[in-house]
Amino acid sequence: MPEGPELHLASLYVNKMCNGVVFTGPVRKSEVSKSPDVPFTCEAYRITATSRGKEVKLTLTPIKSDDTKQRLKTGQADQPMDVVFRFGMSGNFRFTTEDELPKHSHLRFYSKEKPCRVLSFVDVRRFGSWQPSGTWQSSRGPCVMFEYKSFRENVVSHLSDSAFDRPICEILLNQKYFNGIGNYLRAEILFRLNIPPFVAARTTLEGLDSEDLCESEKPVKKENTDKKPSDRTKQKRVKEETGDLLRLCHTVPLEVVSLGGKGYDPEKADYSGFKAWLQCYYVDGMKSIRDHNGRTMWFKGDPGPMVPKDSKSPKPKKRAKKEDDHDYTDKKKVARGRSANTTKKQVKQETVTKTPKKNKDARVKQSRSKTQEGNAPHEKKPTARRRKSSNAGPTTAGPLRRSGRVTRQKSN
């Protein structure tokens, strides 16, 4: 659930579900969670939520009672407490009855009703975290969706920062400047403007005004294809109609919010709406390669000059089980078909083992050493990456990593 739109939708969900609900008692944490305890307990309190970029803040507000003495004696809160959440790769909120507690519910707020209900912070992978008495993380910039003006100013006034030496697709994930943008949004945003992902960020951004000159412009849409404008003209028109890159960092996430539903959440029934909204990310026919941080960048056309030297396309997953093969309307299939699979459900017990194990995600980053001799491309960056374990003898477990990864994409 994790880019700006999903975090915001989560805050809307909490406010809707918890409106009028009275919560009680302590906040409870799962055994396995390593996030801190939330030292808040109260006979009667309410919960509201707000979001900023990729964070959600819950505010726990005690309901006034006359019995101050009693409250203090039993350690009850009488002041509100904020808890700030980051969702990692899989965080979300759910409000259920007590006996329907979701698996991986790691922080729980109990309602005072008879068959009580529970607001859960659910997080399968546990990359998410929370901070009791928390504040918005100071290293993160303004929210691309709801602090648009200061977001723009923050970027435009810091273009000399060396962070902007990087390719545009990589700085779009830098939360100091693009709080709320994640991997699918960067693909969708650059795709809309036809910006090659691996061009220098500063080049792409300089010249943009800290004021949005497009301000009062109406939505988007409308594509007049009878004319064949030159590329230059086309670029200009695109800008006029849809706004510049910074504006799309604002409007594109907001589109996801207005889709309703849950945004990116393949497990949910209303995922199809989101899937249909995607134009580039994981879409059949698009290209993808790993950026310098090992994250998959989806794009169309020219990758741009700053492509990682040894980068390869991740393997195109075959479309999952059939599902619908009847294309009713225009076909807009997505490469990944996570079907709503509700079959088995191994109730495996989550444990607290601390066995040092082989990392998995790390392997994703190690681009296989293609030319396994140390050719050193020391042009610009001291690209020390790409090698590492290559000539250090085969690792016991994984001798040959991927061999030939084929570039997905049929046409171009």
384 binds DNA (CB under 7 A): yes
Q: Cβ of residue 292: shortest distance to DNA, in angstroms?
A: 6
Q: Cβ of residue 158: shortest distance to DNA, in angstroms?
A: 18
Show contacts with DNA in window 350-379 (CB under 7 A).
Answer: 350-351, 356-366
Q: Cβ of residue 245: shortest distance to DNA, in angstroms?
A: 18
Q: Tell me the C-alpha distance between 110 and 399, whole Å.
A: 50
Show contacts with DNA in window 151-180 (CB under 7 A).
Answer: 173, 175
Show contacts with DNA in window 91-110 (CB under 7 A).
Answer: 103-104
- Give the Å distances, CA to CA, from 341 to 91, 125, 327, 344: 20, 19, 21, 8
- Give the Å distances, CA to CA, from 308 to 65, 191, 204, 303, 371: 61, 19, 18, 10, 14
Q: Cβ of residue 59: shortest distance to DNA, in angstroms?
A: 20
Q: Where are the beta strands (DSSP E) in 20-116?
A: 23-26, 28-29, 41-52, 55-62, 81-86, 91-97, 105-110
Dihedrals φ, ψ of 289, to 5°? -145, 165
Category of 296 on φ-ψ map: left (φ > 0), alpha (ψ -120 to 50) or beta: beta
381 binds DNA (CB under 7 A): yes
Q: Would you say 216 or 343 has its CB closer to DNA?
A: 343
337 binds DNA (CB under 7 A): yes
Both tokens of 401, joined, read 């990593």
Active site residue 55: no
> Residue 162: which of 381, 326, 405 has the closest Cα?
381
| Catalytic residue selected from 3, 147, 170, 188 | 3
Give yes or no for a contact between 181 and 172, defined as CB atoms under 8 angstroms apart.
yes
Q: Please tell me whether residue 304 adopts helix, strand or coil conformation.
A: coil
Residues ≥6 apart with Cβ < 8 Å to 162? none
Residue in 265, 300, 311, 334 binding DNA, rule: CB under 7 A? 265
Q: Cβ of residue 153: shortest distance to DNA, in angstroms?
A: 21
Active site residue 2: yes
184 binds DNA (CB under 7 A): yes
Active site residue 229: no
Q: Would you say 218 or 357 has its CB closer to DNA?
A: 357
398 binds DNA (CB under 7 A): yes
Q: Which stretch binds DNA (CB under 7 A): 39-47, 215-223, 232-240, 292-300?
A: 292-300
Show contacts with DNA in window 215-244 (CB under 7 A).
Answer: none
Residue in 137, 154, 194, 369 binding DNA, rule: CB under 7 A? 137
Q: Cβ of residue 315: shortest distance to DNA, in angstroms?
A: 4
| Catalytic residue selected from 5, 6, 54, 170 | 54
Q: Tell me the C-alpha distance between 170 and 295, whole Å.
A: 9
Residue in 71, 112, 239, 338 binding DNA, rule: CB under 7 A? 338
Q: Rg of the chain's alpha carbons, rounded to an integer?
A: 24
Q: Would you say 25 or 337 has its CB closer to DNA?
A: 337
86 binds DNA (CB under 7 A): yes
88 binds DNA (CB under 7 A): yes
Residue in 213, 276, 320, 376 binding DNA, rule: CB under 7 A? 320
Helix runs in 61-146, H state only: 68-73
What's the angle, vertex CA 388, arms to CA 384 and CA 389, rounded to 5? 170
Q: Cβ of residue 277: shortest distance to DNA, in angstroms?
A: 14
Q: Which residues are catalytic?
A: 2-3, 54
